[in-house]
Structure 1
Amino acid sequence: MGETLIGTCSWTDKALVGSGWYPPGRRDPEGRLRHYAERFPVVEVDAGYYALPSERNSALWTERTPPGFRFDVKAFSLLTGHPTRKAALPADLRGHDLRDPELLDEVWHRFGAALRPLAEAGRLGAVLFQFPPGFVPGARAETVLHHIRKRAHRWPVAVEFRHPDWWRDDRRERTAALLRDLDATAVAVDTAQGLPTSMPPVTPVTSSGLGVVRFHGRNPAWGTGSKEDRFRHTYTREELRAWLPRLRFLAERVDHLHVLFNNCCGDAAVRAAETLRDMLDPDEDTR
């Protein structure tokens, strides 16, 4: 049975900071991370998607967390083909055309440099490459995935698709085989079902080293509306209990399983993480 680490997709989300979950005296950047790391063993750095992380911050995160703590870092938007604002780039790069291959090379270089302190300290859990809904299955997408894996050859890579065709019944095994060939972890997701953009809740194992599950919430505005609309959801114990067999299936087949909650409205994510952690306790079935 692999080690299961449960956490959330951010410790700095404004809604969480404003929820009162952080106690007085621990609401500054250092205090928040230390408080979080006393309660959970893993977190996702979702801020890496919105702006390039920095070496300094990675070094500080390492200093402020205990041995064994893991950071899963979400890849910068430009690296996964998402629309990227020039303002998200470092100031000295904003004069470049976003399609300039030299700019992309430099962004890859800086992203890798920022991860180095985490990797050297053994704190880098995975680098999450989450692709946009328009990233559809096909030869072009497979070429992109191979190119990214070569660039990211030093890191544990996790891949999350947002187009449901990747995991449709008639395509599922080909997708899994592709990720196995890349030694990349297929990210399993929980989202609202019955929508055109709904991702199937499948749990393929494509890397023996790592499994990743991300709980996005079940708001019917998934894929539309504001961020708050898309991710506003409070998981019930019944909803989480239905996932227990899947999580145990994954944990039996990988060395490490990361389970991350992305229903980031108020303290909903941390409360769901706490609840699931208790439910995975071996004594839960007798309660």
Structure 2
Amino acid sequence: MGNILVGTCSWTDPALVRSGWYPRGRRDAAGRLRYYAERFPVVEVDSTYYGLPGERNSRLWAERTPDRFTFDVKAFSMLTGHPTRPAALPADLRDRPRDAAVLDEVWARFTAGIEPLREAGRLGSVLFQFPPWLRPGERADELLAQTARRTRDWPVAVEFRHPDWWREGNAEATRALLAAHGMAAVAVDMNQAAPAAVPPVAPVTAPALSVVRFHGRSVSWGQGSKEDRFRYAYDEDELRAWLPRLHALAERTDEVHVLFNNCCADAAVRAAETMTRLLDQGGTEHRP
């Protein structure tokens, strides 16, 4: 039975900081991370989607957390085919054409930025969340192949945002494609009434890792502000319903990362606390 690690998709979200979850005296950059790491064994770094990670920050993250604490790092937007604002790029790359040379340089700097986490044995996975317009097909197959070549020897997790990937008729081909590249499939929980809802399947495509991301079940998914899309508080029954699937994943992989992305105020950390308690009550092996 693999370990189940529960955490959230950010420890620096402004709404979380404003919520009061961090106590007085623990609200500076170092204090927040240390406080979070005392309560959860894993976190997703979402800031690396919006800007390239820096080696200094990665080194500080490793130094400020216990030896077994794990970081999942979200891939920079340009690496997954998302629009990338010029301001998100380093100053010396902003005015250059978005050609293959710039892409190579972005990959090189992203790689260097996460290297301290890899060296410290703290890198749980690099999450490639592909855009909702990426459908199954030749173009997507080539993008996955290119990503696999660039990330050789990395722990990689893939979240597809277009629902066709996991719909009946495509799911087995998607599973086989990710397995062939050694990439872990990301399962999601979201509002299934949304037009572009991804089915809540939980396939295993890599023996080392499975990832489940809880986006919340907001009726505003796909529209409105970030807070509108992710404003949702899971109740205990909704989380308990996932326990059989989490147990099944843990039986087939070395580690399962359960990450809450309903980042509105303290909703994500509260859901993570509840899920941790439910797993404890069920006698499930997970890393505190």
What band does the TM-score fall into relative to the shorter chain?
over 0.9
Take 1:85 and 1:228, find their aligned partners in 2: how far apart are those partners? Answer: 21
2:26 match: 26
1:6 match: 6
Paired letter, 2:95: G
How far off its partner does 1:271 sit?
0.3
Take 2:135 and 2:224, find their aligned partners in 1: how far apart are those partners? Answer: 22
Write the mapping of 1:34-183 to structure 2, written as runs, cut at 5 A: 34-98=34-98, 100-183=99-182
Take 1:255 and 1:64, find their aligned partners in 2: how far apart are those partners? Answer: 25
How far off its partner does 1:213 sit?
0.3
How far off its partner does 1:282 sit?
4.0
2:197 match: 198
Take 1:195 and 1:146, find their aligned partners in 2: how far apart are those partners? Answer: 30
Take 2:118 and 2:167, find their aligned partners in 1: how far apart are those partners? Answer: 35
How far off its partner does 1:281 sit?
1.2
Moved more, 158-167 or 218-227: 218-227
Take 2:254 and 2:115, find their aligned partners in 1: how far apart are those partners? Answer: 23
1:233 match: 232
Take 2:139 and 2:35, find their aligned partners in 1: how far apart are those partners? Answer: 44
Take 2:194 and 2:282, find their aligned partners in 1: how far apart are those partners? Answer: 36
2:249 match: 250
How far off its partner does 1:284 sit?
7.1
Take 2:92 and 2:40, find their aligned partners in 1: how far apart are those partners? Answer: 36
Paired letter, 1:255: D
How far off its partner does 1:228 sit?
0.5
Paired letter, 2:5: L
Write the deviation string for residues 121-157 of structure 1: whole angstroms up to 9, x where unpaired: 0000000000110011101101100100100112100
How far off its partner does 1:204 sit?
0.3
Which secondary structure state, in structure 1, belongs to the residue aligned with residue 19 of structure 2?
coil
Take 1:52 and 1:283, find their aligned partners in 2: how far apart are those partners? Answer: 40
Take 2:222 and 2:140, find their aligned partners in 1: how far apart are those partners? Answer: 21
Task: State whether residues 68 and 123 of structure 1, in contact with CA within 8 Å, keep that contact through their aligned partners in structure 2.
Answer: yes
Take 1:93 and 1:54, find their aligned partners in 2: how far apart are those partners? Answer: 16
Take 2:187 and 2:143, find their aligned partners in 1: how far apart are those partners? Answer: 20
Which secondary structure state, in structure 1, belongs to the residue aligned with residue 216 of structure 2?
coil
- Ranked by relative contact order (alpha carbons within 8 Å, sequence separation 6 or more), the top structure is 2
Paired letter, 1:281: D
Task: State whether residues 208 and 255 of structure 1, in contact with CA within 8 Å, keep that contact through their aligned partners in structure 2.
Answer: yes
Percent of counterpart pairs with the same letter?
66
Paired letter, 1:139: E
| Pairwise CA RMSD | 1.0
How far off its partner does 1:227 sit?
0.5
Alignment TM-score, normalising by the size of structure 1:
0.98
Take 1:43 and 1:264, find their aligned partners in 2: how far apart are those partners? Answer: 13
Take 2:20 and 2:214, find their aligned partners in 1: how far apart are those partners? Answer: 22
Count of equivalent residues: 284
Q: Which structure 1 residue ranges, 4+ long, deviate > 6 Å from structure 2?
A: none
1:275 match: 274
Alignment TM-score, normalising by the size of structure 2:
0.97
Write the deviation string for residues 99-141 of structure 1: whole angstroms up to 9, x where unpaired: x111000000000001110000000000000011001110110
How far off its partner does 1:283 sit?
4.8
Which secondary structure state, in structure 2, belongs to the residue aligned with residue 18 of structure 1?
helix
Which secondary structure state, in structure 2, belongs to the residue aligned with residue 180 of structure 1?
helix
Which secondary structure state, in structure 1, belongs to the residue aligned with residue 184 of structure 2?
strand
Write the deviation string for residues 54-99 of structure 1: whole angstroms up to 9, x where unpaired: 000000000000011000000000000001000000111111122x
From the superposition, tell whether residues 283 and 194 of structure 1 become closer, same or farther in structure 2 (CA, over 3 Å).
Answer: closer
Take 2:258 and 2:91, find their aligned partners in 1: how far apart are those partners? Answer: 35
Take 1:284 and 1:258, find their aligned partners in 2: how far apart are those partners? Answer: 17
* Structure 2, unpaired ranges of 5+: none
